[in-house]
Structure 1
Amino acid sequence: MRKYLSLALLASIAFACSPKEKVETEVDYTQMSDEERLEVAKKMAHETIMVDGHVDLPYRMKVGGFTLQREILDVSVRTPDGNFDFPRSKEGGLDAPFMSIYIPAGLQQTPGSSKALADSLILMTERLAETFPEKFAMAYSPADIEKNFAEGKVSLPMGMENGSALEDDISNVEYFHGRGIRYITLTHGKANLIGDSSYDTVRLYNGLSEYGEQVVTEMNRVGIMVDVSHVSDETFKDALAITKVPAIASHSSVRAFTPGFERNMNDELIQALAKNGGVMMINFGGTFIDSAYAAGADKVREHFVNYLAENNLSRRDSAAQAYIAEYTAANNPFPTVQRVADHIDYVKNLVGIDYVGLGSDFDGVGDSLPTGLKDVSMYPNLIAELLKRGYSQEEIEKICYKNVFRVWQAVEDYAASQS
């Protein structure tokens, strides 16, 4: 025990030292007890900027009844459901969740509706920062996040999930940059005017469309990161061939753990993104990280549909929720935080630590989240697992923010050189 306590003390000293002194004070976190390693992880989470590439709060606010007149869903306080709110964000050390401006693919059938929803969700996000300025602040650059972090505020950078909101007007790329959007996920569940989707069996272009090529070029020009999550493999390759700056995958995981699931990235794509200088931000959703869980989830879902119908219950009924929790635990146990660490390990071992980050998909993947990572308060559990596996503090910092900051700054610098 004395050995472990001494290591924990050394870790505390290392956090307080200058970067040069940190090199001189090496700590073997693998030799700590689990309890002490978790305490170190909590301290690291709170003293390091943490960026999450994808949190679906804006659409959750819309579904929860958020209006511009009053906040029915108040995430400035602890909420009984969902994965994100201010208290839990502070507990977990999350400083900059990218707010997903999510545009359902179905809206593509009605011209103008995708852009209208994007504007509405942006306004909701801005209203959150305006209503609780002591807790939240908008962020449009890495420098904004650093400033907000120093002030103890949770930053709200924004990324648009589904380029369909651009409609068929290339000038909307610059328009949404002006509205604060700092990445655009080119497609979502269906092919759109930009390109093909990994979820869609229809391949309209076998990659990017001609318009999609213009969109990527224009995103480079104005300073919006190109997000290749959700796109088909060919769209992914086309986007990387055109972009002049590093790209991101804001919430994708490793296909080696989910064979046949094109939504995740295979080795070739991971290597291509690394060669591009980009960053892959790991999705925490159970179906993204574990193929066995994904297969079991389909069977469990079918059972619940029948059970609820036979017993005249809805999923919101307490009796149904208790049954669902018990049945799921017995028949399709959730993956654990260790599985998320496996994905990070895989990327690190394949291409290096400089190309991996966090893209949880909190508030976007329902109840499939792994044990130990059920909401934003639990990031220290992941950090502790990485420390247990021998990750250094510098590597943790790269995963938490330095890698995505590098990409984001490169995109900003290129855009500035074009003006």
Structure 2
Amino acid sequence: MKKNLFAILPAWIVLACSSPEPAVDYTKLTDEQRLEAAREIAQSTIMVDGHVDLPYRMKVGGFTLQREILDVSVRTPDGNFDYPRAKEGGLDAPFMSIYIPAGNQATPGASKALADSLILMTERLTEAFPDKFAMAYSPADIEANFSKGLISLPMGMENGAGIEDDLGNVAYFHKRGIRYITLTHGKDNLIGDASYDTTGTHGGLSEFGEKVVAEMNRVGIMVDLSHVSDNTFKDALAITKVPVIASHSSVRKFTPGFERNMSDELIQAMAKNGGVMMINFGGSFIDSAYAAGSTKVREHIVNWLAENNLSRTDSTAQIYIQEYSAKNNPFPTVQRVADHIDHVKNLVGIDYVGLGSDFDGVGDSLPTGLKDVSMFPNLIAELLKRGYSRDDIEKICYKNIFRVWEAVEDYASGQN
């Protein structure tokens, strides 16, 4: 079980956490006191992250049970997720992204095969370290694992291409443990159009995609509308019988013209549907100035490496890249992530926003103060500073996504 921190915490935190109404005005605390309170909240509250790209990172890193290459049961020198850092940050249920690159779509069977292999890899992680990780297929599973002090590994498939052209694969992946499917990824697929693709193959959802959404409702898989085009988004909302999610998307107001993020119109439509938007932490997702600066920095570094006959892995190059990037395009901060949460709350209410970091999936673009899973308390502290209550924080951390997930489960139980 998680430690009983009440025995060692200052009296003002214990009072605030035990009272029906907060006895402490978090906005009037010092930054140090607020961070202390945030750490307690993170440790005592279930925290769900809608999107962590650990399985693909393990695949690239050469996952083995012999711990020879990548062992996330211990602190790792790179990446954003491992067991010790997750425990430090209070992260209890990171959705493991079963990521299917758009390039796999060109080869029949390749997407489903990759999905199967990444699911197996995630399962093997819990088998190798049963004292640290456990699979989770429902909110009830996460609550049970939380009570045992285990980190739950629910799974979502990023890119519906894994379904291939067989509607029966929707039920198949539900049996394999997939609890959300991101309908598209980088390119249009058989289901619908993607935000990063300008082809507009179907003008939104395809006829097959409409059947996929209906079948996901029937079997109990959440419909994830991150990565889809605006038209696909609207089509899916028109068909679904249950609330939907955006597992790792941010607010387009802060990144004008970036269709991958959600417009106010889409945020309002998702809230009307009862869904939840889980905020992506990636620098290019949360700040348009950083995104533009990244392009310029990237071009400069490519030219500099060529001129100096160096690769990115050279120690000299790494030092230069870090120093040049910090000087010419400083990272956004944790405050910017809070701005996105603020925007959703102010636009549609606290019941429709959650956390979808995209850790291990957005490279080194993460904001200062949110570089890995150990740093979630920094975000909670910033929200407390802005006047969010403990109940607000709990909704963001898990109650909102649990509400949607349970609604999807309830509908499916009535269909089968």
Give TM class, smaller chain: over 0.9
Match of 1:165 among 162, 165, 183: 162
Pairwise CA distance, 1:126: 0.3
Match of 2:384 among 383, 387, 404: 387
Pairwise CA distance, 1:11: 2.5
Pairwise CA distance, 1:67: 4.2
Contact in 1 for aligned 2:174/2:220 (Cα 8 Å): yes
The answer to whether 1:204 aligns with 2:201 is yes
1:339-391, Cα deviation, whole Å (9 max, x unpaired):
00000000000000000000000000000000000000000000000000000
Runs of 4+ in 1 over 3 A off after TM superposition: 67-71
Contact in 2 for aligned 1:286/1:293 (Cα 8 Å): yes
Distance, in Å, in 1 between the alignment partners of 2:350 and 2:100 is 32
State the one-letter code of the partner of 1:164: A
Aligned ranges 1:263-412 → 2 under 5 Å = 263-412=260-409
Q: Structure 1 residues 275 and 328 mapped into 2: Cα distance closer, same or farther (>3 Å)?
A: same
- 2:25 aligned partner: 28
Distance, in Å, in 2 between the alignment partners of 1:320 and 1:9 is 50
Report the secondary structure of 2:311's partner residue: coil
Distance, in Å, in 1 between the alignment partners of 2:12 and 2:67 is 49
Match of 1:45 among 42, 45, 48: 42
Distance, in Å, in 2 between the alignment partners of 1:199 and 1:71 is 37
- 2:15 aligned partner: 13
State the one-letter code of the partner of 2:20: K
The answer to whether 1:59 aligns with 2:46 is no
Distance, in Å, in 2 between the alignment partners of 1:73 and 1:104 is 21
The answer to whether 1:247 aligns with 2:244 is yes
The answer to whether 1:228 aligns with 2:230 is no
Distance, in Å, in 2 between the alignment partners of 1:338 and 1:62 is 33
Report the secondary structure of 1:412's partner residue: helix
Pairwise CA distance, 1:315: 1.6
Contact in 2 for aligned 1:68/1:124 (Cα 8 Å): no
Distance, in Å, in 2 between the alignment partners of 1:176 and 1:383 is 34
Contact in 2 for aligned 1:8/1:40 (Cα 8 Å): no
Q: Structure 1 residues 195 and 36 mapped into 2: Cα distance closer, same or farther (>3 Å)?
A: same
- 2:86 aligned partner: 89
Distance, in Å, in 2 between the alignment partners of 1:67 and 1:133 is 15
Gap runs ≥5 in structure 1: 1-6
Contact in 2 for aligned 1:8/1:32 (Cα 8 Å): no
Distance, in Å, in 1 between the alignment partners of 2:213 and 2:10 is 47
- 1:4 aligned partner: none
Contact in 1 for aligned 2:244/2:404 (Cα 8 Å): yes
Report the secondary structure of 2:265's partner residue: helix
Report the secondary structure of 1:159's partner residue: strand
Contact in 1 for aligned 2:15/2:23 (Cα 8 Å): no
Aligned ranges 1:179-190 → 2 under 5 Å = 179-190=176-187
- 2:151 aligned partner: 154
Contact in 2 for aligned 1:252/1:359 (Cα 8 Å): yes
Distance, in Å, in 2 between the alignment partners of 1:384 and 1:12 is 17
Distance, in Å, in 1 between the alignment partners of 2:286 and 2:30 is 27
- 2:4 aligned partner: none
State the one-letter code of the partner of 1:12: V
Contact in 1 for aligned 2:61/2:70 (Cα 8 Å): yes
Pairwise CA distance, 1:309: 1.6
- 1:3 aligned partner: none
Distance, in Å, in 2 between the alignment partners of 1:318 and 1:70 is 26
Pairwise CA distance, 1:293: 0.3
Distance, in Å, in 1 between the alignment partners of 2:250 and 2:259 is 10
Match of 1:99 among 96, 99, 103: 96
Distance, in Å, in 2 between the alignment partners of 1:144 and 1:159 is 15
State the one-letter code of the partner of 2:349: G
State the one-letter code of the partner of 1:83: N
Q: RMSD over aligned Cα, in angstroms? A: 1.1
Distance, in Å, in 2 between the alignment partners of 1:116 and 1:178 is 15
Report the secondary structure of 2:78's partner residue: coil
1:137-163, Cα deviation, whole Å (9 max, x unpaired):
000000000011111111000000000
Pairwise CA distance, 1:325: 1.0
Contact in 2 for aligned 1:195/1:205 (Cα 8 Å): yes
Pairwise CA distance, 1:81: 0.2
Pairwise CA distance, 1:26: 2.7
- Name the % identity: 80
Distance, in Å, in 2 between the alignment partners of 1:69 and 1:211 is 42
Match of 2:188 among 191, 202, 220: 191
Aligned length: 408
Pairwise CA distance, 1:407: 0.3
Distance, in Å, in 1 between the alignment partners of 2:412 and 2:274 is 17
Pairwise CA distance, 1:308: 1.5
Pairwise CA distance, 1:70: 5.9
Gap runs ≥5 in structure 2: 1-8
Distance, in Å, in 1 between the alignment partners of 2:147 and 2:41 is 15
State the one-letter code of the partner of 2:114: L
Pairwise CA distance, 1:8: 6.0
Q: Structure 1 residues 338 and 8 mapped into 2: Cα distance closer, same or farther (>3 Å)?
A: farther
Report the secondary structure of 1:155's partner residue: strand
